Amino acid sequence: MAKLPAIASDQSYTFADYFKLNIEPDEILSYFGYEYQAAAMDLPQAGRVLSGIEELRSRLEDSLPYVSLTSEMARREFLIAPVLMELIHHTQAKTKVSYCVNVSDQLKGELDYLLQTASALVVIEAKNADLQRGFTQLAVELIAIEKTGMTDQPKFYGAVSLGNIWQFAMLDTACQTITQDLNLFRIPTDLRDLLQVLVGILECPTGPVSL
């Protein structure tokens, strides 16, 4: 018996719907013409010393024991937002929250965070749980970004975040491949390493971005 396609071609999907589907990421990405792979990625790194990070890490360590992180909103406000504010401080990235993208009936919805500089962008998907399904949603969002023509970068990045755990993904336009990084960044322990990567991505001069 022939296997049914992962996605119904006559059905409408938002980005959030892909998080709910109990379907392997390679099957969903294959539907859109992309290959999936998991690998330890050699992520960009900031080429300069970032000041102030230890102060933020100390504040997080002092405050988090008193914060309930049982909801996505709590994780956004107390874990993700402080990291993004620090990132904006270092890069002056234009930041859009709940940014709407509408490419087609199957590639539409809201990006939790879209950060853009003159040369790069990064998409961040916030979740309360289930990093793997969060990656699937992020991967579909990266496909939508490519199809909008928002960036001419041959490779561009996104991250799915549970607040205390971050994982990166990369879309390679030439190979039509989306890679899921095998490495995880834990907050507050890996805060400096995480910000070195995020700043490195946004300062990477690999192609123009439509702001």
6-63 confidence digits (pLDDT tens): 788 889 999 999 999 999 999 999 999 999 999 999 999 998 999 999 999 999 999 9
The set of residues, in sequence order, having a beta carbon less than 8 Å from that of 72 and lying 6+ positions away, is 126, 127, 128
Question: What per-residue confidence (pLDDT) applies to 1?
Answer: 40
Lowest mean pLDDT among 68-77, 155-164, 199-208: 199-208
Sorted by where each starts, the structural domains of the chain and their CATH numbers stand as: 21-202 (3.90.1570)
Question: Per-residue pLDDT for 132 more than 80?
Answer: yes
Question: Per-residue pLDDT for 210 more than 60?
Answer: no
Which helix (H) or strand (E) element contains residue 138?
helix 131-148
Question: Per-residue pLDDT for 113 more than 90?
Answer: yes
Q: For residues 75 and 45, give the distance between their C-alpha atoms in angstroms, rounded to a whole number.
A: 25
What is the value of pTM for the model shown? 0.93
Burial of 17 (0-12, 13-18, 19+ CB in 10 A): middle
The set of residues, in sequence order, having a beta carbon less than 8 Å from that of 191 and lying 6+ positions away, is 53, 56, 57, 60, 83
First to last CA, the chain: 48
